[in-house]
Amino acid sequence: MNFIKLDILVLLDQHKKITAVADALGVKQPTITFHMKSLEEQYGVPLFETYGGRYKLTRAGTALLHYARKIRALGLEAGRIMAEQRSPEKGIFHIGASYVAGTYLLPVWIHQFREAYPEVEVRLTIRTAPVIRQMLAERQIDIGFISAQKASTEDELYYEAICEDKLVVAYSVNHPLAKKNNIHQVITDCNDLTDGLTNITPNFSMHSNADKSTILPEELAAYPFLLHGSQSTTREMTNHWAQINNISFKNGIEMDSIESIKRTLVYGNNITFISYTAIQEEVAFGKLACEDIHKDLPQRMIFVCYNPERWISPQMNAFLEIIREQKPI
């Protein structure tokens, strides 16, 4: 099959307009129209229909789209792998990650990988965990890192747990909860913040009752709550906790950015559930305080995942070895 036809089908479903597809492929509009007609003649069924100048795939077109994406992804992957064979020390290594892993863990791993493969082009895409899973399934990325309670059983990806991604309740050091509970977070060595993987599961201590939370759910419900984006696993776990404890959030504010959440915490009486990995630097330098909430919050892990049907290149093997040699679990 002509790959440009598959490109047109996929891009038309995405952009809905022939002009946008032509621009994306760098060809003229009549070329797009020609291949659309050719594709319909090839299969003998209508694949496209128009509504107010916008194109939509028919039922047959939608069915073909499923295979077009797979064939297109396999073709791109095959081309990339052949390029790697011609120059094993070069090539492109595309990593996808959810926010915590992509922002706080991957930089040091990428640095170590680049020391071994300085000419490999590394690309990092940060998206939500569901999007990363989809990108792996569609072979858009080579490897993914996500935060999740457990490995998914709804896809055919390979999952390997790397470390715990502990959720804590966080607030300003000037927050009433910090003063009430006299909470002090201590990282044993602040140099660990820039010392590679030693800070994946940092040691932190609280007040004398560190083994169990002293904050009741109804106490948390009394303060404005910063909510993570609706697609995040943190938001999913927060909603689960609220439902179990029959809690409704007071003046909830939704934010998609963890950095925005952290900055908002510093300047007000807001609280949030957040990954300890994401705030350990702020805690170490006295900007934020936090407490472990054991009750009704299941364990969450950082997983490395990839498509087992994808050929594992020497570069990918080397990256996996860097992680496996240093992971704490």
Show the tokens assigned to 211.
């083994």
Separation CA 257–CA 189 (nearest Å): 28
Measure the CA–CA gap between 182 and 208, rounded to whole angstroms: 10
What are the backbone angles phi and psi of residue 290, rounded to the nearest 5°?
-155, 165
Structure tokens at 259: 């950095």
| CA distances for 213 relative to 24, 76, 104, 117, 269, angstroms | 54, 51, 26, 45, 20
- Over residues 34-60, the mean pLDDT reads 91
pLDDT of residue 208: 32
Partners of 224 in the beta sheet? 250
CB-based contacts of 236, cutoff 8 Å, min separation 6: none
Q: pLDDT-derived band of residue 214, with 50, 70 and 90 as boundaries?
A: low
Is the pLDDT confidence value at 204 over 50?
Answer: no
**pLDDT at site 281:** 92
The single-letter DSSP state of residue 102 is I
Residue 202 clears pLDDT 60, i.e. is over it: no
Q: What is the chain's Cα-based Rg? A: 24
Q: What confidence score (pLDDT) does residue 182 get?
A: 56
**Selected residue with higher pLDDT from 90 and 279:** 279
pLDDT in tens, 178-191: 877 655 443 333 33
State yes or no: pLDDT of 67 exceeds 80: yes
**Strand locations in 45-105, DSSP E?**
48-51, 54-57, 92-97
> What structural domains does the chain harbor?
3-85 (1.10.10.10), 88-163+301-326 (3.40.190.10), 166-292 (3.40.190.10)
pLDDT digits (tens, 9 = 90+) for 86-142: 666 667 899 999 999 999 999 999 999 999 889 888 999 999 999 999 999 888 899
Other CB atoms within 10 Å distance of the CB of residue 160:
16
Q: What is the pTM of this model?
A: 0.68
What is the rounded distance in angstroms from the CA atom of residue 144 to the CA atom of residue 102?
9
pLDDT at 155: 83
Considering only residues 155 and 202, tell me which one the structure prediction assigns the higher pLDDT.
155
pLDDT tens digit string along 291-316? 987 666 778 899 999 999 888 888 88
What was the pLDDT predicted at 201? Answer: 39
3-state helix, strand, coil in the chain (%, to 5): 45, 20, 30
Q: Which residues pair with 26 in a beta bridge?
A: none
Q: Report the C-alpha gap between 149 and 164 in whole angstroms.
A: 10
pLDDT mean over 224-248: 88
Residue 231's pLDDT is 83
Distance CA 101, CA 109 (A): 11
* Euclidean distance between CA atoms 30 and 28, whole angstroms: 6
Averaged pLDDT, 226-247 = 88
Residue 318 clears pLDDT 50, i.e. is over it:
yes
Query: What average pLDDT does this structure show over 27-50?
Result: 92
CA distance 269 to 242: 19
Look at residue 269 and tell me whether its pLDDT is greater than 60. Answer: yes
Answer yes or no: is pLDDT of 274 > 80.
yes
- Given a cut of 50, is residue 210 above it in pLDDT? no
Neighbouring residues of 157: CB distance < 8 A, sequence distance ≥ 6:
133, 136, 137, 144, 305, 306, 307, 308
